[in-house]
């Protein structure tokens, strides 16, 4: 999920990727109140929301259910790798604190 806020018109794009898919695809996108609903639903479902105006502007040009094009692979892969890292950190058992 990526978002951007212009002073008067927020926009949001939601991506989905499943193992076996060739590339992530756009599953939701919108401006204004639709963008706000997309972000609210994502956060409510525990989905990471990334604020990246440049990436959102590029992704908004895609159609729903369209896979991201190859020129965007690296940018999206970096976001997905960061999300994976955050998920691993959240799932890791807490570190033991040495006695003082």
Query: pLDDT digit string (tens) for 9-25?
Result: 899 999 998 989 999 99
CATH number at residue 75: 3.40.1690.10
Domain assignment present for residue 86? The answer is yes
In a domain, 30, yes or no: yes
Q: Comparing C-alpha atoms, which of 4, 21, 30, 100 is closest to residue 68?
A: 21
* Residue 96 forms part of a structural domain: no
User: Is residue 100 situated within a structural domain?
Assistant: no
Q: What is the pLDDT of residues 28-67, one digit of tens each?
A: 999 999 999 999 999 999 888 989 999 999 999 999 999 9
User: Other CB atoms closer than 10 Å to residue 25's CB: what's the count?
Assistant: 18
Round to whole Å and give the CA distance between 90 and 52.
23
Task: Confirm whether 62 is domain-assigned.
Answer: yes
Nearest to 65 by CA among 6, 32, 18: 18
Query: How many folded domains does the chain comprise?
Result: 1
Instruction: Report if residue 32 sits inside a domain.
Output: yes
Spatial distance between the Cα atoms of 69 and 58, rounded to a whole number of angstroms: 10
Domain extent, residue 24, equals 2-91
Partnered with residue 14 across adjacent β-strands are: 28
């Amino acid at each position: 999920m990526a978002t951007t806020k212009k002073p008067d018109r927020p926009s949001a794009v939601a991506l989905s990727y499943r193992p076996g898919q060739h590339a992530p695809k756009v599953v939701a996108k919108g401006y204004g109140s639709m963008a706000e609903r997309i972000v609210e639903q994502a956060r409510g479902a525990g989905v990471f929301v990334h604020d990246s105006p440049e990436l959102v502007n590029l992704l908004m040009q895609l159609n729903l259910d369209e896979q991201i094009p190859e020129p965007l692979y690296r940018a999206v892969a970096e976001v997905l790798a960061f999300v994976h890292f955050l998920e691993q950190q959240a799932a890791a058992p807490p570190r033991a604190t040495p006695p003082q």
